[in-house]
Amino acid sequence: FSPRMATGMQEKQYTPSLLNFFIYNPKFGPREGEEEKKILFYHPSDVEKNEKIRNVGLCEAIVQFTRTFCPSKPAKSLHTQKNRQFFFEPEENFWIVMVLCMFILNYICAEFIDTVYGAVLQQCYSMYKLFNGTFARAMEAGGVELLTQKLEKFFYRYLQTLHLQSCDLLDVFGGISFFPLDKMTYLKIQSFVNRVEESLSLIKYTAFLYNDQLIWSGLEQDDMRILYKYLTTSLFPRHSEPELAGRDSPLRPEVAGNLLHYGRFLTGPSNLKDPEAKFRFPKIFVNTDDSYEELHLIVYKAMSAAVCFMISASEELGREFCEQLDGLVGPQLTLLASDICEQYNINRRVSGSEPQFKFIYFNHMNLAEKSTIHMRKTASVSLTSVHPDLMKILGDIHADFVRVDEDEEIIVKAMTDYWVVGKKSDQRELYVILNQKNANLIEVNEEVKRLCATQFNNIFFLD
C-alpha cells in the first residue's frame, strides 16, 4: 500500500485513485511474443513490461469471456475487492481500460459508481477525439507510430486533470447548462452570429456562451457537448483571472490601448499588438461519423460573453484575419455582452430570488442540465452544497431510472431530516433534496409538486 492510499482510506471509505489507464488493440499483436504491440498507451508508463502485458491480457480475456453471455453488450466493469476496472470499446477493436483503486465497504452505491466512472471513461475518449480525431484516422495517416504518439501526448496531460474524487451525477449526464434568456436578446445574438458568419465567410460554425453557459451552438449536439465540457472545465477557468482582477491590476488584459471594446482571444494570440504574436489555434475534430471535419478553434471573449468560431483547418489564419475578426467582433460583442447582462438582471429581479430548493434537472433530449446543488464547477473541484452521501443517493436513484424505460418517481428518506426525490418523465430527470423537519411522505410529495409547478411550468412534466 502506498501511504497516500492509506490516508485516503482513513479519511473516506471510497476515495478513488487512478491505478492504471491503458489502451490496446488485440489485433495488433495476435501472435505469442508480440503481445507488447497490442499496447498503444499505458499509464503509468514506468510499469514493467510484463505487468503491462499481463494486465492487458487479463482484460482481453474478461471481455472475450463475457462476450459469450451477451454478444451485444460487452462487459463494462469488473469489481474486485480493491479495484474497479472499466472497459470501453470506442472504435472497433480499440479498448480503453481504466483501473481505479477504491474500497467500498458499503455496497449500496456499487451500481452508481459503475455509471459515473463508465461515463468518465467515455468522456476521456470523447475529449481525445475532439482534439485528435479518431484512432482509425490516425492509423490511416501514420500507422501505429502516429497513434501512439498522439495518445501519449494527449493522455499524459489529460489524466492529470481527472479529478476522480469529485465525479458525480453531473458527469454521468455530461449536460450543457443553458443560459436563460428572453426572446429578443436571443434574437439579437442570432443576428450577431449570422452577421459575423456572413462577413467572415471562412467561419463554418459558431457557438455563443455567456457566464459559462451555452446560448447558441452551430455544432451538432454531441460535438457541442464535449466542446462545452472542454470550455467550461478547462479553457475558461484558466482565463477567468483577468476578469476577476481589479481595473488597475496588471493582470487585466490590454484594454487601455483599445477603449473601443473588451474583446480578446482566449485561444491564439494573447495580444494582437505584440509583433511576436503567434496565430496558432487549437484544432478540433467534429462530425467524425460522417463529414469528419478538422477545424481551427478560435475562442474570443468580451466580458462574460464568449464566442467560439470554427474555421476549416485547411485555411491559413494569420495576423490579418485575426485583426479583422477582432475589429468586427470586439465592439459588437462588448455591446451584446452588456445587453445580456442588463437583460439578465431585469429578468432576475422579475422572477425573484433564487429558489431555496436544491435540485438537479437533466433533459436527455437537449442535454440541458441545471443544478442548484453545485456551486461552481471548475477544473479542480466540483463544489457541492450537500453531503456526499446524499449525492450517492441521487446516483442510486438514477441507476434505477436507467434500468426502467417507463416514467417513475422515487422518494427516499435519508438520514436526519433529508428527503431525496427523483422523478423521471419521458426524457427528463429531476432530483430534489428537501430538508423539512418531521415531514411525511405526502408533504414531501406536495412540496415537489409545488416545485414543478413553479420551476418547470413551461414543460410537459408529468406529476
Q: Which is nearer to other proteins, 134 or 217 (CB)?
A: 217
Site string for other proteins, 395-434 (x = CB under 8 A): ------------x------------------xxx------
**Stretch of 24-32, 241-249, 345-353, 453-461 contacting other proteins, by CB under 8 A:** 453-461
Name which of 429, 434, 430 is nearest 412 in CA terms. 434
- HSE value, Cβ hemisphere, 13 Å, CA-based, for 177: 17
Show contacts with other proteins in window 158-217 (CB under 8 A).
178, 181, 183-184, 186-188, 190-191, 194-195, 197-199, 201, 216-217
Q: Which is nearer to other proteins, 94 or 216 (CB)?
A: 216
Closest approach, Cβ 217 to other proteins, in A, equals 7
Q: Which is nearer to other proteins, 121 or 193 (CB)?
A: 193
Three-class SS state of 112: helix
Show contacts with other proteins in window 351-370 (CB under 8 A).
363, 365-366, 368
Q: How far apart are CA 298 and CA 131, in angstroms?
A: 13
Task: Note the residue count of the chain.
Answer: 463
Instruction: Decide: 428 and 361 in contact? Cβ < 8 Å.
Output: yes
Q: How far apart are CA 279 and CA 265, in angstroms?
A: 10
Q: How far apart are CA 38 and CA 108, in angstroms?
A: 36
Q: Which is nearer to other proteins, 188 or 358 (CB)?
A: 188
Q: How far apart are CA 293 and CA 284, in angstroms?
A: 8
Q: And the C-alpha cell for 258?
A: 483599445
Q: And the C-alpha cell for 446?
A: 406536495
Helix (H) or strand (E) holding 117, with range, is: helix 110-132
Name which of 354, 359, 463, 367 is nearest 421 in CA terms. 359
Q: Which is nearer to other proteins, 217 or 384 (CB)?
A: 217
Closest approach, Cβ 267 to other proteins, in A, equals 24
Q: Which is nearer to other proteins, 135 or 178 (CB)?
A: 178
**Stretch of 10-18, 49-57, 281-289, 455-463 contacting other proteins, by CB under 8 A:** 455-463
**Grid-cell match 431510472, residue found:** 401
Site string for other proteins, 9-48 (x = CB under 8 A): ----------------------------------------
According to DSSP, residue 312 is labeled: E
Closest approach, Cβ 264 to other proteins, in A, equals 24
Q: Which one of residues 145, 220, 243, 315 is an interface residue with other proteins (CB under 8 A)? A: 220
Instruction: Decide: 397 and 108 in contact? Cβ < 8 Å.
Output: no
Helix (H) or strand (E) holding 226, with range, is: helix 221-230
Q: Which is nearer to other proteins, 415 or 442 (CB)?
A: 442
Site residues for other proteins per CB under 8 A: 178, 181, 183-184, 186-188, 190-191, 194-195, 197-199, 201, 216-218, 220-221, 363, 365-366, 368, 407, 426-428, 458-460, 462-463
